[in-house]
Amino acid sequence: MIIFQGYQMIKQPIILEIGVFAGSYWDVPIQDSNKFFDEAISEFEKMNPGIKVTYRSGTLKRNYSEWLSQKIIRGKEPDIFCILPKDFNTLVSIGILKDLDELMNHDSQFDASKMYVNAIQSGQFQKRQYALPSEIAPVLMFVNKTLLAREGIPIPKGNWTWNDFYDICKKVTRDTDGDGQVDQFGTFGFSWQEAVYTNGQRLFEPDGSAAYFDSPGVVEAVEFLMKLNALHLNAKVTSNDFDAGKVAFRPFLFSTYKAYKPYPYRVKKYGQFEWECIKLPRGPKGNNVAELHSLLMGISSRTKYEKEAWEFLKFLVYKENTQTNVLKYSYGIPVLRYITESEFGERVFSAVSPEETFINKSLLSEVIEQSIVTPKFQKYEDALTMADKEIFQAVSMEKDAGKSMGDLNKEINEFLKNK
């Protein structure tokens, strides 16, 4: 016992390194991006004397993948690190992420059912847990209230459909100043993925063994996109048009809403018009939701301090205080459902938008739960890039949707099969 204490005394503190990037994960302005981690670290170190947590700040999000990759090939990767969505599949495939199932299942203090099921799924790769999200954000529809009011259109209801969406877009797409050019538009940034997801379709087998780009639901989504696009054939909508208040709808992440809605950013960015967030319109086969975005954190499979790393990861994603800090310091939504739905959560959300009631805790929970978690396999990003290119061409050149998607599906299946 004495020897053990003596050992403890001379023992160097365990140093856990975490990999984070500077700035907000959600690409919105943030005053002190490290505050969330700093507070978590100082509280964790207080509770676990003998463990020190360090990180290198200053790596920008756009350089983060390369920075982390270099660390990995030099064998110096942090014990715990943030994972960008485009890196997740690769990192799992090369085996750098620790399989967390064991740790989660053997930890009696960890109850996965307190987290959003979708949030947990977002860190899974072929049914194994390789990462856990520290915060999440669903896709919402940004509505230009001023524009709709000017056109005499009421704000759509929560469960509105593609048809409602199309009708409004059709109504507002027009030339307002009479120069012969269309200068007011229905939507900007409503992507083919959002169309597919709001139609409840899946693009791949979860393990990436097959693609379903030619399924009727997907074709239907692409056709809808073509229909929308046909409303302003000769004019290209840009984000400037949106910022200038000339676009009625634009899909946005919840985090953007939370960042820009309050003062001072609402004045800075979208000060010229009133705006609000509602759910996405749903297609004939789907719900009013799209993809769920999440900030994933994983543990290196080569970490020397597996137990301590897990404790810290758990501290980030499962600890009440830390998750409450997501509401305070960040723009995502806590992964713990009870915190999102707590009184504090309610206060935070209503403070974001005091005058409206579209965004509230139960709506958020509902959207999160219905949101789609994209499949995880190594070729996912490349396959999506291929599809993106083909579908953009098909839409802009008004090709036959069924045939284009059939060809695309063949091509992608081929790509998936060839290792």
- In the complex, the residues that contact another protein under the rule CB under 8 A are 65-66, 69-70, 72-76, 87, 90-91, 93-96, 301-302
User: Would you say 74 or 236 has its CB closer to another protein?
Assistant: 74
Cα separation, 148 vs 129, in Å, equals: 44
Minimal distance, residue 73 CB to another protein, in Å = 5
Minimal distance, residue 94 CB to another protein, in Å = 5
User: Would you say 93 or 191 has its CB closer to another protein?
Assistant: 93
By three-state DSSP, how is residue 83 classified? strand
Nearest C-alpha neighbor of 132 from the set 144, 142, 118: 118
E strand or H helix that includes residue 37: helix 35-47
Cβ atoms 23, 30 nearer than 8 A? yes
User: Would you say 19 or 156 has its CB closer to another protein?
Assistant: 19
Query: Which amino acid would we find at residue 216?
Result: P
Compute how many other C-beta atoms are within 10 angstroms of the C-beta atom of residue 139.
24
User: Would you say 22 or 235 has its CB closer to another protein?
Assistant: 22
E strand or H helix that includes residue 82: strand 80-83
User: Would you say 69 or 365 has its CB closer to another protein?
Assistant: 69
User: Would you say 89 or 409 has its CB closer to another protein?
Assistant: 89
Q: Would you state the structure tokens that stand for residue 31, as one six-digit string?
A: 């005053």
User: Would you say 306 or 346 has its CB closer to another protein?
Assistant: 306
Q: Please, what is the end-to-end C-alpha distance for the chain in angstroms?
A: 56
Cβ atoms 295, 335 nearer than 8 A? no
Cα separation, 184 vs 151, in Å, equals: 11
Minimal distance, residue 239 CB to another protein, in Å = 27
User: Would you say 62 or 347 has its CB closer to another protein?
Assistant: 62
- What are the φ/ψ torsions at residue 57 (nearest 5 degrees)? -95, 160
Minimal distance, residue 75 CB to another protein, in Å = 2
**Bridge partners, 253 (sequence order):** 139
Cα separation, 390 vs 260, in Å, equals: 33
Residue 244 has what DSSP assignment?
T
Helix axes 343-352, 361-370, angle to 10 degrees: 90
Residue 398 Cα distances to 28, 39, 229, 234, 270, angstroms: 35, 53, 9, 13, 33
User: Would you say 67 or 166 has its CB closer to another protein?
Assistant: 67
Residue 129 Cα distances to 81, 112, 121, 186, 314, angstroms: 15, 11, 8, 40, 13
Minimal distance, residue 304 CB to another protein, in Å = 12
Looking up tokens 């994933």, which residue turns up?
Answer: 296
Minimal distance, residue 95 CB to another protein, in Å = 5
Query: Which amino acid would we find at residue 339?
Result: I
Minimal distance, residue 382 CB to another protein, in Å = 9
Minimal distance, residue 65 CB to another protein, in Å = 5
Nearest C-alpha neighbor of 58 from the set 32, 21, 27: 21
Minimal distance, residue 97 CB to another protein, in Å = 10
Minimal distance, residue 80 CB to another protein, in Å = 16
User: Would you say 41 or 83 has its CB closer to another protein?
Assistant: 83
